[in-house]
Amino acid sequence: MNFLDLIWLIPLFPAAGFIINGLFGKRMPKAAVGVIASGAVLLAFIFAAGAVYQLSQLPEHERSHVVTVYEWINAGSITAATGEPARFLVNWAFLLDPLSSVMVLVVTGIGFLIHVYSTGYMWEEDGFYRFFAYLNLFMFSMLTLVLGANYVMMFIGWEGVGLCSYLLIGYYFLKKSAGDAAKKAFIVNRVGDWGLATGILLIFVNFGSMDFVTVGEVIREGVAAGTYQMSQPIFIAIALALFVGATGKSAQIPLFVWLPDAMEGPTPVSALIHAATMVTAGVYMVARSNWIYQLAPEAMAVIAIVGALTALFAASIALVQNDIKRVLAYSTVSQLGYMFLALGVGSFVGGVFHLMTHAFFKALLFLGSGSVIHAMHHEQDMRKMGALSKKIPITFYTMAIGTLAIAGIPGLAGFFSKDEILWQAFSSEHGHPALWLIGAIVAGMTSFYMFRLLFMTFFGESHVDHHTEAHIHESPKRMTVPLMVLAAGSILAGYIGLPKWLGPNYFEHWLEPVFEPLKFAGAAAADHAEHSASLEIGMAGVSVAIAIVGLLVAYAAYYKKSNLPERVATQFRGLYTALANKWYVDELYDAVFVNRAKDLGRGLWRFDGKVVDGAVNGTAFSTVQSALGSSWWDRWIVDGLVRLAGGFIKTLSWPIRLSETGYTQNYALVMVLGVLVFVGYVLWGTF
Amino acid sequence: MVPIHHFLFLGAALFTIGVIGVLTRKNIMVILMSIELMMNAVNINLIAFSAHLGQTAGQIFAIFVITVAAAEAAVGLGIVIAMFRNKETMNINEIDLMKW
């Protein structure tokens, strides 16, 4: 079977699952709903794996396969900035190249595991079928996003995942907080989508196409011919506009506020959408547009700084959160910051690599926390947990692996990807030691808050109340098996991208055709300054040391029974309060944007009430008044004239009227008399 | 041979009775019958003169009058019935729509 030409089927499997479950799921048994939803994703995974395998068999420079299903939009023609005539042409087309194959495998593979897990986790919930219909719709949108061959297809997927995110955050829609969180996610994303849409239109106007392949070629040729230079304003503008889109979807400063609130959704949703796949769409999009970013080093700097600051900022908040899912949510924001740091320093491979490894261990951690929450009967506060390691051992061991991986302990996936990012932040031509320093500090903070989570949840004394304590149980196989698979992935996924001093980097080699550096006219291929391997090893050693320090601090503060956390909290009361309140960002946004919007709304309401309604009411009043005047005129003047005419005729006619008695016999008498008169007159002449 | 003035007197008498009936009676049916009386008085005159002058035109005219009278009776009775249905009366004085 030629899977390469069947990639258009990959998004259609979950779409079919969505339609079946959405329309008939309510009347189907739960098992059937679960099998259809998971089976659809499994089919998509099999087709994706087949296609990626066949792609890898092609020669390196041919690994970009476009399948056009049909021409979708063909409208309007302009003269693009390149001087060529261009049509607004959008094909329903799919692109499989090394980058999208990484994404499609992550999305379908981890997506499938999470679907299986959800059949266990959501079994008792109302609207089981609704959940899986949404989840399948999400898979369809996400696959359209990563497989779409042009910016418009990507935008459709982008908006589709936003919709599904909204629907799934608001899954428990009877809870006001869930509805609010869903709205917040949707509205904040609108701001970002504005940027993305602007960027796409700028791309079309400037390059005359929105196909990834064509735009890439136009830029490459333009650069080779010398028409495009480094730091041309248009590239900076497009790069920044697209990045605004990325900050929305991938929860970067300043638009990250929706992601922590998104934890109102069911935990598998947090794992799939708000950790592993959807939130990485921004990373994918920036990596996909890498030729534009290569020409806009200023925008790259912005991305690197925003990414680093987001990583630091979110990690600092995660230090003091007590809700198990919120810790993971801020951790996700922080790790996404890492990815953008990597993109910003020009290491697209590093960003995508961390995206992939992060998908494994963050999905694992979220699903693990879901398993804990499941065991604890929907208790999410870590202060009410403790000593769970013996009671739910599989969850504990898998989560421990996830924690080790995210903390960057050598040998696990997170170490390789995080180390790659830190090394690039330090050594790349776009890098800076300060960026490395922030990254390293964040690594330590990550290690601290993750081990804090692990120790508070699984070790120490039990703070579980007796009623719940009796019911704690390990989750069913459907939940634990995905955990184990993800744990294996969290260990092994890193080995495809080993650092240079350790072995071959297959991952970088695989992605090379996509991230090929631009060749400038007349310039020799830029050769990167070679850093010594010993420096790289030394840097890795430093970051591992920092991670271990974080671990030890967490150990001292939370594993051993100590009052260290309280002491520190008292010592730095101001800082602690600020962190616990998430740096008051929500309050700031409320004050600056939300309440101003509400004020504007209230002002407009008042304007409506007073001015618009006043105008309407005034019009009504004056209409009534003028109608009264008009009616007086009608009644007295117009009617009066008519009556006058009538009365005039009536008065004049009264003598004649009297003859009209209405008695038939009177008329007959007149007739007879008239005849007599005539006869008399005739006879008179005779005699 | 009866002299002609006998017939003329009879016709004049019948016609006068008819005119008086039309002018004085209040019942529409009676008025219609009075009109018939007047037409038959005219017929007698026509026949009488026809016989007297030895011409047939008078007789033909009489037959013509009878025919027209039959049609007139049909239309007149139809009007009377329609009127009765509307007004529930046969009194000519109550039918005074043309009054000023």
* Nearest residue to A268 (alpha-carbon basis) of A373, A129, A397, A375: A373
Q: Name which of A85-99, A307-321, A503-517, A633-647 the model is least confident about.
A: A503-517
pLDDT digits (tens, 9 = 90+) for B22-81: 999 999 999 999 999 999 999 999 999 998 998 899 999 999 999 999 999 999 999 999
B80 touches A at CB < 8 Å: no
Which residues, in sequence order, are CB contacts of A639 under 8 Å at separation 6+? none
As a whole number, mean pLDDT of residues A385-391 equals 85
B85 touches A at CB < 8 Å: no
As a whole number, mean pLDDT of residues A126-132 equals 91
* ipTM confidence: 0.84
The confidence band for A85, taking pLDDT boundaries of 50, 70 and 90, is: confident
In chain B, what residues touch A668 (CB-CB under 8 Å)? Answer: 22-23
pLDDT digits (tens, 9 = 90+) for A159-184: 999 999 999 999 998 999 999 999 99
Q: Do A669 and B23 count as a contact with CB atoms less than 8 A apart?
A: yes
* Nearest residue to A368 (alpha-carbon basis) of A397, A347, A343: A397
Identify whether the C-beta of residue B23 lies closer than 8 Å to the C-beta of residue A669: yes
Q: How far is Cα A305 from Cα A435, in angstroms, rounded to an integer? A: 7
Q: Could you count the other beta carbons within 10 Å of the beta carbon of residue A563?
A: 10
As a whole number, mean pLDDT of residues A116-130 equals 91
Q: How far is Cα B43 from Cα B66, in angstroms, rounded to an integer? A: 8
In chain B, what residues touch A660 (CB-CB under 8 Å)? Answer: 98-100
pLDDT at A521: 64
The percent of residues in chain A predicted with pLDDT above 90, rounded, is 61
Residue A528, pLDDT above cutoff 60: no
Length of chain B: 100
The confidence band for A110, taking pLDDT boundaries of 50, 70 and 90, is: very high
* Nearest residue to A564 (alpha-carbon basis) of A448, A390, A446: A448
pLDDT at B90: 87
Q: How far is B79 from chain A (nearest CA, A)?
A: 15
Q: Which residues pair with A74 in a beta bridge?
A: A89
Residue A525, pLDDT above cutoff 70: no
Q: How far is Cα A185 from Cα A172, in angstroms, rounded to an integer? A: 15
Residue A193, pLDDT above cutoff 50: yes
Residue to substitute from A657, A663, A683, interface B, most B β-carbons within 10 A: A663
pLDDT digits (tens, 9 = 90+) for A363-380: 999 999 999 998 888 888
The confidence band for A382, taking pLDDT boundaries of 50, 70 and 90, is: confident
Closest B-chain CA to A667 = B23
Does the global pTM surpass 0.90?
no
Residue A582, pLDDT above cutoff 90: no
pLDDT at A522: 58
pLDDT digits (tens, 9 = 90+) for A607-663: 999 999 999 999 999 999 999 999 999 999 999 999 999 999 988 888 888 887 888
Q: How far is Cα A193 from Cα A146, in angstroms, rounded to an integer? A: 16
The confidence band for A113, taking pLDDT boundaries of 50, 70 and 90, is: very high
Q: Which residues pair with A75 in a beta bridge?
A: A88
pLDDT at A298: 92
In chain A, what residues touch B90 (CB-CB under 8 Å)? Answer: none
pLDDT at A523: 55
SS (H, E, C) A42-88: HHHHHHHHHHHHHHHHCCHHHCCEEEEEEEEEEEEEEECCCCCEEEE
Residue A264, pLDDT above cutoff 80: yes
pLDDT digits (tens, 9 = 90+) for A3-50: 899 999 999 999 999 999 999 998 999 999 999 999 999 999 999 999
The β-bridge relationship of strands A65-79 and A85-96 is antiparallel
